[in-house]
Amino acid sequence: MANTTDNMNRCGVAWFKMDETSGNLVDSKGSFVGINNGSTVVSGFRGNARSFNGTSSYIQISNPVSQYGKKSVRFKVKSSFIPNGSVHPVIMGNQKDIKDPGWRVGVRLNTGYLYYYSTDTTGVNLSLIATVNVCDNQWHDVLFTWDGTINENSFKLYVDDMITPKVQGAPLRIETKPYVTNFEIGKLVTQTGFNFNGILDEIEMYNDVISVAPNTTLVFSEGEYKYYSEGWRILDSTVTESDYKIFGMQDISTIPESAWSQLEGEVELCYYTDDPDTTEVSFNIETKPFTLAEEWEDKEIKIIEYTDDPNQMESTITIETEPFTLYDELGDTVDVLYYTDDPSKTSAELNITANYSPLDELEGDFDVVTWTNDEEVIAGTRDMSLTYDALPFEQIIVQPTDIELYGDLKKLVASKIVDSRTAGTLKLAASFDSGLTWKTYRFDKWVTLDIQNTTLFKRKGMGVETLNTIPEQDLTGLTRIAYYFDNSEHYENSYALDQVKMVVDAPRQTVEVQQMALQLLNTTATIDLTFSGNKLQGILNDADKGKVKYRVLLNGQSYYPADGEFTRLLPSPFKIEINIDERKFLFGKENTLKVEFQDYWGSVDSREFSFVGTYSGLMFMDESGDFLSDTFGGILKQLDYEVIIAGQTTLTKKVKLINQLGYAVDHVYLEMDKKLQTSGVEVQLSRQADPFLPIDYLTYGLMEPEESVDFYVRIATDIHAKPDPNGIFEMKVKADRV
């Protein structure tokens, strides 16, 4: 299913998120403004919402908003009051009289059923009732769509289930007349007594039928389409759109690893969506750790380079591999070809230094037969000795006992002894259960390894460099180490391990006492905090160098960690940097931010800040001090110039730019968004109001936290500028942190 942002980009008309903390509703898609008449801000389906009292509160928009023809409208509704008066309450709409073009949606008397009602200049055009009670004090997701035709079931009304409509039908006539009545939320337009008692959130309006079918996936393997439901279920070698809708899987991450392992050969993931703007899709596939070397082992690799440079005749590719020797790659026999373009050269010399003995040609066991004329040896009065050097077989050395540790293991440090020539192989493995099982550290985690398989140990065991970089948290519980040695058969030098050192935070070989009494002198932890730009920053320290922990409370409620518990014990000094989510603030009211902290011994202290909830960032404000946008770019208030006549230049409006980031910025750059610029209409900026000196952009130097600058805006139009009933413009600002 296409998400709201995708649908809005394709055919959106208005999007009232209702996340304002007070005042009017702001349209996040277009430029509509909902004038508030008594509705109150409450906690909503997502963020804030608006509550209507059923008697007098409503919101009015000076525009029909939803136009005639094909459309989609979606919203969230919650109510605990089944109406029992004399009229059916209206949730929203732009229809008021029997021959007034428009529509409305509301709840039925005595049942709480949802209804849809539309009229045109002839009379009633469509009336439908969804037999589901939306006044049960639960949130309900409502969507209705119409494709603009009078075909069978061209109108669909969904409640919670976005696949199967609760009710569907078709209007009597195609709409041909534009809607003219203003749109109202919470009651019938211009009428009294039809007020809705409940909560509304996330109103979305579109000028087309939006996507409602969920995106699904089928698996194609061994020539057949499959889906998973407590086992693989086979469909056919071909499938239809209906198969995707009925059998398609919405979340393939729930398929267990054991099921994936049953599939053989190539596996295709076939993705279905009814969103016409979706052109590609991506899947995250998690596998067991592997390397390209393992995948390409014993295979020929071709690297193909493309270039459009006609002068390039050759390429250089650098490949980094594990150390190897020519003997390993070329074997015992090799032909060396020599090329030269020197015509005077008639012969070539090749000098090879090799560790070679004729005995290397012998395979298996053999007897050494000697001859001597030494009479003492012959007489048996003196032994004859034969001295020879040889390489040992590959060896696995397993530590027989557990490592004795007197504290937390912080680090392992291994050092090897080699000469400057190519060495043999040294690999290591670790055990956490006294040698019952063994593990190697790959891709930042421990992986089980069978050290009895010497080939596997040689390939996947840890190198010294890997062992030395394992972080402290991954060494907890380590008890033994195993070693694999294999000297190079082509060099005389051996591979030797100098030492393996354990770094532990524990004093040894100090003073021992039989009996003693200790008086613990504990210094309470200290904290140095600042709160600016909705950012909490500081240092938590303990003079005893012990560990510390903390938690953050906002207005008496747990903020960090979210479960209300203290953090785990942390090494001191510890740097605290937390961005406080302004959506949890009480805007325009006093908020309390409290940081409680304690040391290892449990001594608790706290620091508290009081502040008035506001936004963070480089913020725009109008002359009255109202913010024009929030931290996330959402529009809070328009810089409204009302109706502008072509050829006129508007009055000048002052705008304040204030630094509420919590830190100083430099190279401040302010300009208008050119993407929204209309031919014949120019939004002009100036540093001063009188005289107004228009400029394309404004720049400012260093701005300290809470520092502000004023600038001025006006709109100049050409006499030939085309009409635009909903013209908007946007300002952009960027800066560098000092």
Per-domain residue ranges of the chain: 4-206, 216-272, 395-504, 526-612, 617-737
Question: Is the pLDDT score of 326 beyond 80?
Answer: no
Q: What is the pLDDT of residues 728-738, one digit of tens each?
A: 888 888 888 88
* Alpha helix positions (H), 428-540: 454-460, 464-468
Q: What is the pLDDT of residue 134?
A: 94
CA angle in degrees (0–180, nearest 5) for 641-647-652: 35
What is the residue type of 205? M
| C-alpha to C-alpha distance for 342 and 647, rounded to whole angstroms | 84
User: Per-residue pLDDT averaged across 528-533, rounded?
Assistant: 80
What H or E segment, with its residue span, contains residue 375? Answer: helix 375-379
- Which percentage of the chain shows pLDDT scores above 90? 25
| Residue 49: both structure tokens together | 């919402």
| Residue found by looking up tokens 């494709």 in the block | 147
Cβ atoms within 10 A of the Cβ of 234, count?
11
- Which percentage of the chain shows pLDDT scores above 70? 91
Question: Is the pLDDT score of 323 beyond 70?
Answer: no
For residues 51 and 169, the answer to whether their CB atoms sit within 8 Å is no
User: Per-residue pLDDT averaged across 379-392, rounded?
Assistant: 77
For residues 247 and 291, the answer to whether their CB atoms sit within 8 Å is no
What does DSSP assign to residue 568?
A: P
Q: What is the pLDDT of residues 568-610, one digit of tens each?
A: 888 888 888 888 877 788 877 888 989 998 887 777 888 888 8
Single out the residue of 458, 428, 445 nearest to residue 288, CA to CA. 445
| Residue 537: both structure tokens together | 């920053």
> Residue 529 pairs with which residues in a beta bridge?
538
For residues 735 and 667, the answer to whether their CB atoms sit within 8 Å is yes
- Predicted confidence band at 126 (pLDDT cuts at 50, 70, 90)? very high
User: Per-residue pLDDT averaged across 105-125, rounded?
Assistant: 93
Single out the residue of 461, 356, 480 nearest to residue 409, CA to CA. 480
In sign, the C-alpha dihedral spanning 348, 354, 359, 364 is: negative
Q: What is the pLDDT of residue 488?
A: 63
Q: What is the pLDDT of residue 684?
A: 87
For residues 117 and 101, the answer to whether their CB atoms sit within 8 Å is no
User: Per-residue pLDDT averaged across 137-147, rounded?
Assistant: 94
Q: What is the pLDDT of residue 136?
A: 94
For residues 196 and 169, the answer to whether their CB atoms sit within 8 Å is no
CA angle in degrees (0–180, nearest 5) for 625-33-204: 130
| C-alpha to C-alpha distance for 654 and 691, rounded to whole angstroms | 13
Question: Is the pLDDT score of 420 beyond 50?
Answer: no
Burial class (CB in 10 A: 0-12, 13-18, 19+), 570: middle
| Residue 252: both structure tokens together | 């393939």
Q: How many helical (H) and strand (E) elements, i.e. helices and strands, does the chain have?
A: 8, 41
What does DSSP assign to residue 649?
A: B
Question: Is the pLDDT score of 676 beyond 80?
Answer: no
Rounded to the nearest integer, the mean pLDDT of the chain is 84
What is the CA 66 to chain-centroid distance, rounded?
A: 35
Cβ atoms within 10 A of the Cβ of 182, count?
17
Burial class (CB in 10 A: 0-12, 13-18, 19+), 473: exposed
User: Per-residue pLDDT averaged across 18-44, rounded?
Assistant: 90
| C-alpha to C-alpha distance for 536 and 658, rounded to whole angstroms | 19
Lowest-pLDDT range of 475-489, 512-526, 527-541: 512-526
Question: Is the pLDDT score of 479 beyond 80?
Answer: yes
All residues at 6 or more sequence positions from 380 whose CB lies less than 8 Å from its CB, including other chains: none
| C-alpha to C-alpha distance for 349 and 17, rounded to whole angstroms | 83
Lowest-pLDDT range of 82-91, 111-120, 199-208, 270-279: 270-279
- Are both 4-206 and 526-612 of the same fold? no
For residues 94 and 104, the answer to whether their CB atoms sit within 8 Å is yes
| C-alpha to C-alpha distance for 57 and 50, rounded to whole angstroms | 10
User: Per-residue pLDDT averaged across 374-396, rounded?
Assistant: 79
> Residue 168 pairs with which residues in a beta bridge?
156
What is the residue type of 674? K
Q: What is the pLDDT of residue 524?
A: 72
| C-alpha to C-alpha distance for 163 and 65, rounded to whole angstroms | 27
Q: Regarding predicted confidence, which is higher, 417 or 363? A: 363
Pick the CATH number of 4-206 from 1.20.1440.230, 3.20.20.70, 3.30.479.30, 2.60.120.200: 2.60.120.200
All residues at 6 or more sequence positions from 639 whose CB lies less than 8 Å from its CB, including other chains: 622, 628, 653, 655, 713
What fold does the segment set 617-737 form as a domain?
Immunoglobulin-like (2.60.40)
User: Per-residue pLDDT averaged across 385-405, rounded?
Assistant: 79
Cβ atoms within 10 A of the Cβ of 61, count?
21
User: Per-residue pLDDT averaged across 53-58, rounded?
Assistant: 93
Q: Regarding predicted confidence, which is higher, 237 or 516? A: 237
For residues 209 and 224, the answer to whether their CB atoms sit within 8 Å is no
Single out the residue of 660, 671, 659 nearest to residue 713, CA to CA. 671
| Residue found by looking up tokens 């409640």 in the block | 159
| C-alpha to C-alpha distance for 314 and 445, rounded to whole angstroms | 41
User: pTM for this structure?
Assistant: 0.39
User: Per-residue pLDDT averaged across 712-719, rounded?
Assistant: 89
Question: Is the pLDDT score of 150 beyond 90?
Answer: yes
What is the CA 270 to chain-centroid distance, rounded?
A: 24
Q: What is the pLDDT of residue 391?
A: 65
| Residue 338: both structure tokens together | 């020599």
Pairing of strands 155-159, 590-599: unpaired
| Residue found by looking up tokens 């070698």 in the block | 237
* Alpha helix positions (H), 557-623: none
> Residue 558 pairs with which residues in a beta bridge?
553
For residues 659 and 706, the answer to whether their CB atoms sit within 8 Å is yes
| Residue 431: both structure tokens together | 């055990």
What fold does the segment set 526-612 form as a domain?
Immunoglobulin-like (2.60.40)
| C-alpha to C-alpha distance for 588 and 128, rounded to whole angstroms | 44
Distances (CA, A) of 583 to 43, 46, 48, 580, 614: 11, 11, 9, 9, 10
Q: Regarding predicted confidence, which is higher, 420 or 246? A: 246
Q: What is the pLDDT of residue 513?
A: 58
Cβ atoms within 10 A of the Cβ of 139, count?
16
Question: Is the pLDDT score of 355 beyond 90?
Answer: no
- Predicted confidence band at 205 (pLDDT cuts at 50, 70, 90)? very high
Q: What is the pLDDT of residue 341?
A: 86
| C-alpha to C-alpha distance for 92 and 83, rounded to whole angstroms | 16
User: Per-residue pLDDT averaged across 661-680, rounded?
Assistant: 83
CA angle in degrees (0–180, nearest 5) for 505-510-513: 115
| C-alpha to C-alpha distance for 189 and 97, rounded to whole angstroms | 9
Q: What is the pLDDT of residues 248-307, one digit of tens each?
A: 888 888 888 888 888 888 899 998 887 666 778 888 887 777 777 777 777 888 888 888
